[in-house]
Structure 1
Amino acid sequence: MTETADTALHGVGVSARRPDATLKVTGEFAYASDLWLDGMVWGVTLRSPHPSAWIRSIDVGPALRVPGVLAVLTHEDVPGEKRYGLERRDQPVLAVDEVRHQGEPVALVAADHPETARRAAALVAVEYEPRPAVTDPRLATEVVRRQPVRRGEVFEADVVVTGEYEVGMQDQAFLGPESGLAVPAEDGGVDLYVATQWLHVDRDQLAPCLGLPPEKVRLTLSGVGGAFGAREDLSMQVHACLLALRLNRPVKIVYGREESFFGHVHRHPARMRYEHGATRDGRLVYVRADILLDGGAYCSSSPAVVGNAASLGVGPYEVPNVDVVATGVYTNNPPCGAMRGFGAVQACFAYESQMDRLAEACGLSPVEIRRRNAVSQGSSLITGQVVDSPAPLAEMLGELESLPMPGPRGRDLQDLRDLPGGVSQTTHGESVRRGVGYGVGIKNICFSEGFDDYSTAVVRAELVGGEPHVTVRTAAAEVGQGLVTLQAQIARTELGIADVTVATADTSVGSAGSSSASRQSYVTGGAVKLACEAVRARFEGLPPREALERSGPIEETRVFRHRPTYPLDPRTGQGDSHVQLALCVHRAVVDVDVELGLVKVVELAAVQDVGRALNPQALEGQIHGGSAQGLGLALMEEIRVRDGRVLNPSFTDYLIPTVLDMPPMRLKILEFPDPAAPYGLRGAGEPPTLSSTPAIAAAVRAATGLRLTRVPIRPEDIALSNHGEVSDG
């Protein structure tokens, strides 16, 4: 094979090796929880045990008398604004006169040892007056956002199917808990080293609460052990800074696993009612949908989640008549906000379940019903937005259907490890049935509805030891998705220089926005590309070394903005709200023990259009990872909440898929470039999370004959419901 320039440089289109790979595999990578400074002290947060209560008094005296305790703070010690928030500043730094959810921060303790701080926090005497909690979103009266999407007038059809669906509360379940180190500065400000997704918005929320100008609050990204949306909101950031400024000493806060469940937002649980009408040959005529999202105690990013659920509420299908209403409400349940898939996941489970029911009613296969209604380039979404780049859904479904199926189960000498439940099987496979299911998902890429979405990059080329070297600086958070690797690949491709350093992200550079919405390859990749092109232009056609010998160091800063978006009309839901749309389709094959209610996913197959694969290996990892989180939502992951209290805040009781739960995957990656995007790329991290869940649920339905309208599907949903004969698939 002839080596191209890009391949030689490990540039765009090549599976370049990640610079952090070896360190993470060997356990030497420095995460935020590993931070250390001489003289630092430890911070701990006291949290409410009640989902809803008045605070009548707080006595910090007993905690202050513990040897080693240096400070105990309450809301009275907050020097600036008492509240913060992503979209609405409704979340208190520390509870003032009430608590609205279990786990709400009430007081802070700093001590010379973390155990001392924890013991002291338990001694802070808080007098609560519990009050009735609103925990059923159907009874909630406070609305975060209500977004209808309406078009057309025909709501009658030959074939009509209805269904009510429910999605449980999923946790992002990142492996590195919230952590950071706040260091007071000589100028009266503070330097915060933290695991986050969004450096500048963290700063912009912190500064008013600390009573400081933004330039005196400096954030540097530390090692992040996963994010998936949960690090968009503040957690320990403001608390560590408050303690550091009070004590004039470095303060470190690291959550344990249980506290982490209370310290970040979760995926919105949803209740949805759908009605699909179609012609007898399966062409959609109309869709009605009512989507109710439980936002929990505070706003977070719920308005944007509601907008996504509404605008993508019927999926990637052509539907001339729609009446969709998405509503987010406040309750006294745990706060909910961003999680991979961001509102589109919940709707996808419902509309894909409906497409399967419609296929059955029309006598069509699950693939054919989707093919007949698939959007394509030039189609109009339910919001009136025209799909103006490739959307090869029909082709993707064909590719998926043509992928080989896994072999049949052996019926004689079966290995128990291949059965649902593994070696703990008690029926030895006689009640195991096989099922196949399909799922399709559509996800918006980048921020939507008029948000000023941009990224800034600084690129510097110079001679180091006589050889050309490039330094790339952005504020974009590397949260495990491989963004640092990609920035270096872009610099190598655009400048023809192999030696590239991507500096640690911090707020000394202009904002790069959040590492969410599958947007960083698009916007930060675009910014790095622009800055590199500006540097290359100053080479004036000379080779890099010769140009740099003549000119000295060259540095350029560029800001990348994608095309504008617009808010949805609050009455009709019409508007060009999204930048880019991405599609993924899944096929799931499962074995189900219908007596025990156990499920084994035998295989997942996925076809995804990515525009252009910038790093093929990292891309495959994103599809595997998104599929794993979709599997978790389908079969095991749920924060169980009863009367506003979390019942399972641990990885013992909150189950996430392990390597033993994930099946082999067949992938088919298509590349239909988007002409408006850098390199033609299409964000790829979120779409697999959408379509994997309904595909698995559909496969379980096929194996059991049950409707199964709620995820995660629990063993009792299968074993206790399965009273009739079940055909062996």
Structure 2
Amino acid sequence: MGKISRKSIVINGAQRHVVYNSEKDSLANVLRRFGLTGTKIGCDKGVCGACSVIMNNKLVRACVIKMKKVPEYAEITTIEGIGTPDNLHPIQMAWITHGGAQCGFCTPGFIVSTYALLLENKSPTREEVRKWYTKNKNVCRCTGYKQLVDAAMDAAAVLRGEKTMEDITWKLGEGEEYYGSSLPRPTALAKVCGTIDYGDDIGLKMPGTVAYLAPVMAGVPHARIKSIDVSEAEAIPGVIKVITAANVQGSNDISFPAVVPRQKGQGAPKFPLICDEVVNRRGDIYAIVAAVSTDIAREAAKKVKADLEILPSYMNVLESFATDALQLHPNVPNQYLFAPLYKGKDTEEIFEEAPVVVEGSWHSQHEPHLTIEPDVFQGYWDEDGMLTIMSKTHDLYGCRDELAPAIGLEPEMIRMVNNPAGGCFGYSTISNLFALAGVAVMTINMPVSMTLTYEEHMHMTGKRSATYSNGRLACSEDGMIEAVEFDVAMDHGSYAGTASIAFGNLISVPFQGYNIPNIKALARAGSSNHAFTCAYRGFGGPQIYTMSEALTDMAAEAVGVDAWEFRKKNVAVPGDLTINSRPYLTYTYPQLLDMIKVHYDEFKKIADDAKKEGRHVGVGIGMGGFNVGKGFIDHCENDIELCERGYINVYNTWQDLGQGADIGTMTHVLKNLEPLGVTPDKVRLVTNDTKLAPDSGLSAASRSHYMSGRALIEACNKLLDAMRKEDGTYRTYEEMIEENIPTRYRGHVDEVGYGLDPCQDPNTGEGSRFKSYTYGVSTALVEVDVNTGKTEVLKFAIAVDIGKIGNMLSVEGQAYGGISHGIGFALSEDYDASDKANNMAYCGVPSCEMIPDDIRVDYYAGDPRPHGPHGSSGCAEVFQACTHMPVINGINNACGVRIYDLPATPDKVKAGWQKLQNGEDLTPPKYFFGTEFEDELEYIRENPI
């Protein structure tokens, strides 16, 4: 297993003697074994910067530096040597104040990188900071980078003596309340010091004997498993067992019935935890090796032999929907989910007579989440005999109930705990990975831990579903929209995952904010051998806005009307109906368009001046938002407890994946318990453990602040009522105990009873599923180098209506982060399921310089939500649902190239420019989905539900 060597190095000022494997160990491995787990390993290829340390006064990425290359007596500085919780460095304080630590996994690497920068240059410009982060491969997926540059500039000012630590420390202003403030999140201190333990840190610190797991991944998209031979692997010393599907004690299936009323076949494609018959994607696994170390487990995994019969693979639904394609799953045809949409008059005659008709076909890609932390989990039997699974997940109770029958255990016997998470953005709403902890513990009856390599993480986790769409729009000569038609196919990949939930958004999200009088549309979905579908911020929105906002822009161009003017002309006003034939809950898009106009006009002037200089600079605009919550089935519970010395314990499963569940919970408690004068230091969060806390629902669909906030209002009111004396003062904890009055109260909220439709009508698409929405209009200034095809986003602005803001830092984190994902979706991010798709750089993660430093967010304050907590709604999805389309529309405005196939990579833009110069048509051929649009709709009309 490699030669063992020893050398001395100086770590954070102290000489240490290091024993290491000279063939395998990296500097990062050794530092982490020393307990210095602030140094993170993310990509393990030197492209994310989470492992940044300083060696001999030079910033290095420790994961790619082999220990044998580290000089004797090398001086190493890690995050632990920069500052401590009781003695913060200015960089760490600035990070807290500016909200730089969201999930926090990249934070130590960024702080060390910034420390190295400021050693060289105490007066950097913002551009120099951005160039430094890009050059040194420091990648953040949560923040959008703006807050990090803000923090670096403030820290530099302190080091120059221009500011003090007090100047950059957040304080509640006089007359200011916590609700709506920039109160830093409670976990920020541990994150900036590198002391918070993420999954792999916990794996290193597990007590006693632990089995370390390694998966055996198929590596091919489609094959029949004829046999599996584990004998050679199990013969390796240190291997405990090779676990296969035969060891799974439950159904080995985490699929759940489709929620789409109209489908062909039965149920959903089986989603096995461990494959025993067929592999349907590259990331499927057919065995897990348990061994006494990760190294042994991984070596043994290479020795598991499978006889695979390679089958035809269909890497998109255009291939799998073909009439001669093999049926991928026995219970459903490859195309099996359908949802029609009708509104107003029949559109055929309108299109025949309309003076202006625009049309096209679009493809949006399988977008990867590209978290910096690869997936990791632990499992063990706890002291009460409960199977405990520690992982990162958006839905502790939901995933518990999903995986329980699959592994063969009652849900009540499973304890789910959320580890501190290095980002997620939706993929862990499905339990396919951490359910394996349960399988392993039940098989070998000992604690287990698994940390995926980044390659495994990329292939084994779900992705945003791809879509293909054909659409057309008719309008009058003066630019009034008269009708829309579209036919969209969702490629949900190898397994349905959450596809059926996102599916409905394809016929409820597009053209949000417009008055569209007549619509005819069809959504379809089905299987391929690509990655399976899971949640991702916007959840169907980015895919369908790719078509709808392009059509809108094309119509404006065809009529000869400015893109903003066209939208203002067609914006919905009171009396207009949504595309689902229901009143808008609020009509704020006119105000949002007015708010964005100042930025749009500024950007247009900059673009016009640049074009006079011969540059290809343009402005794009996009309009659209997203729903809040799960609709009529939504339910949420939170507990509040009065404790000794005035402490308040809060119990919930508002899962924190970096979005700010900690500060969200605290903010609601501080607001609701204002009569008691509760301060942040008195609030203790007892969260994200199903053994200790009630079911607060999944942290997705922008629902948590909205739902948990309402539940906490009820819980806190119950506590205040119990504490209140006849004279209006409040009992102490001791008085409550003395009078035998309970000190813990539960608040719950349900969406049932508000007149919401369970789903759109399966025959017409009519319906209103949600009680709250978020709304947004955004604009981007872009420049295209037509010689290379590279697009640069120079400036970005968005105006949003999200109701009352609960915590500004958290909302801004969602804003800047969501916009950065939107830009990435537009320009670079793509998971193609190839061998090369094994790291975040290949899959297009945006660097600091790729995201503009000038990002502006304007909040409309005139629409507090009547049902929301303190007037609040959700916020996350609105910042990513349609923020990619201003970039795509901006490319067209800059150089005349309309991109129909996302992402708009340089090769596609350059090819489009060359076609344009040759006078060629850029419009792609119309997609064919196995049956004609009109024929499928006719079948649906003849077979109503």
Task: Tell me, yes or no, if the aligned pair for 2:184 and 2:809 is still in contact at 8 Å.
Answer: no
Q: Which amino acid aligns with 1:518?
A: S
Cα deviation for residue 282 of structure 1 reads: 1.4
Distance 1:7 1:444, change over 3 A: farther
Matched position secondary structure for 2:850 = coil
Cα deviation for residue 188 of structure 1 reads: 4.8
Match for residue 371 of structure 2? 174
Cα deviation for residue 233 of structure 1 reads: 0.6
Matched position secondary structure for 2:232 = helix
Are residues 1:437 and 2:620 paired?
A: yes
Partners of 1:325 and 1:176 in 2: how far apart?
Answer: 38
Matched position secondary structure for 1:270 = strand
Partners of 1:376 and 1:177 in 2: how far apart?
Answer: 46
Cα deviation for residue 375 of structure 1 reads: 2.2
Q: Kindly report which structure 2 residues correspond to 1:275-286, keeping only aligned pairs within 5 A, or say none.
A: 275-286=472-483
Match of 2:855 among 662, 665, 671: 665
Q: Kindly report which structure 2 residues correspond to 1:2-401, keeping only aligned pairs within 5 A, or say none.
A: 11-35=178-202, 36-38=205-207, 39-87=209-257, 88=268, 90-139=270-319, 140=321, 141-155=333-347, 156=350, 157-185=354-382, 188-376=385-573, 378-388=575-585, 390-401=586-597
Match for residue 421 of structure 1? none
Cα deviation for residue 408 of structure 1 reads: 4.4
Match for residue 663 of structure 2? 485
How does the TM-score come out when normalised to structure 2?
Answer: 0.71
Q: Kindly report which structure 2 residues correspond to 1:532-681, keeping only aligned pairs within 5 A, or say none.
A: 532-540=716-724, 546-552=731-737, 554-562=743-751, 563=754, 564-641=756-833, 645=834, 647-663=836-852, 664-671=854-861, 672-681=863-872
Matched position secondary structure for 1:91 = coil
Are residues 1:475 and 2:637 paired?
A: no
Cα deviation for residue 722 of structure 1 reads: 1.8
Q: Which amino acid aligns with 1:666?
A: R
1:448-471 alpha-carbon deviations (Å, 9 max, x no partner): 3x4x2111101001332xxx1111
Distance 1:380 1:142, change over 3 A: same
Task: Tell me, yes or no, if the aligned pair for 2:271 and 2:495 is still in contact at 8 Å.
Answer: yes
- Name the larger-Rg structure: 2
How does the TM-score come out when normalised to structure 1?
Answer: 0.92
Q: Which amino acid aligns with 2:277?
A: D
Q: Which amino acid aligns with 1:21?
A: A
Task: Tell me, yes or no, if the aligned pair for 1:585 and 1:606 is still in contact at 8 Å.
Answer: yes
| Higher mean displacement: 53-62 or 716-725 | 716-725
Q: Which amino acid aligns with 1:396?
A: L
Q: Which amino acid aligns with 1:433?
A: H
Structure 1 residues without counterparts, runs of 5 or longer: 413-428
Task: Tell me, yes or no, if the aligned pair for 1:315 and 1:351 is still in contact at 8 Å.
Answer: no
Distance 1:434 1:410, change over 3 A: closer
Match of 1:688 among 865, 870, 879: 879
Q: Which amino acid aligns with 2:711?
A: A
1:638-687 alpha-carbon deviations (Å, 9 max, x no partner): 1124xxx4542212311211221111112211121111222121211111
Partners of 1:317 and 1:299 in 2: how far apart?
Answer: 31
Q: Greater RCO between the two (CA within 8 Å, min separation 6)?
A: 1
Match for residue 423 of structure 1? none
Comparing both structures, which one devotes a greater share of its residues to helix?
2
Match of 1:700 among 877, 880, 891: 891
Partners of 2:541 and 2:184 in 1: how far apart?
Answer: 32
Task: Tell me, yes or no, if the aligned pair for 2:273 and 2:432 is still in contact at 8 Å.
Answer: no
Distance 1:544 1:10, change over 3 A: farther
Task: Tell me, yes or no, if the aligned pair for 2:607 and 2:781 is still in contact at 8 Å.
Answer: no
Matched position secondary structure for 1:83 = coil
Matched position secondary structure for 2:644 = strand
Cα deviation for residue 27 of structure 1 reads: 2.3
Partners of 2:887 and 2:688 in 1: how far apart?
Answer: 38
Comparing both structures, which one devotes a greater share of its residues to strand?
1
1:572-627 alpha-carbon deviations (Å, 9 max, x no partner): 11112223221111110011111111111110011111111111222112111110
Match for residue 92 of structure 2? none
| Higher mean displacement: 234-243 or 12-21 | 234-243
Q: Percent identity?
A: 25
Partners of 1:646 and 1:343 in 2: how far apart?
Answer: 27
Cα deviation for residue 111 of structure 1 reads: 0.5
Cα deviation for residue 334 of structure 1 reads: 1.5
Partners of 2:564 and 2:606 in 1: how far apart?
Answer: 21
Partners of 1:189 and 1:494 in 2: how far apart?
Answer: 35
Match for residue 426 of structure 1? none
Task: Tell me, yes or no, if the aligned pair for 2:511 and 2:624 is still in contact at 8 Å.
Answer: no
Structure 2 residues without counterparts, runs of 5 or longer: 1-169, 258-267, 322-332, 919-945
After superposition, the CA RMSD in angstroms is: 2.4
Cα deviation for residue 85 of structure 1 reads: 2.6
Partners of 2:784 and 2:487 in 1: how far apart?
Answer: 31
Q: Which amino acid aligns with 2:769?
A: S
Are residues 1:405 and 2:586 paired?
A: no
Match for residue 934 of structure 2? none
Q: Which amino acid aligns with 2:621?
A: Y
Cα deviation for residue 168 of structure 1 reads: 1.3
Partners of 1:336 and 1:557 in 2: how far apart?
Answer: 35
Matched position secondary structure for 1:660 = helix
Partners of 1:629 and 1:64 in 2: how far apart?
Answer: 43
Partners of 1:432 and 1:592 in 2: how far apart?
Answer: 8
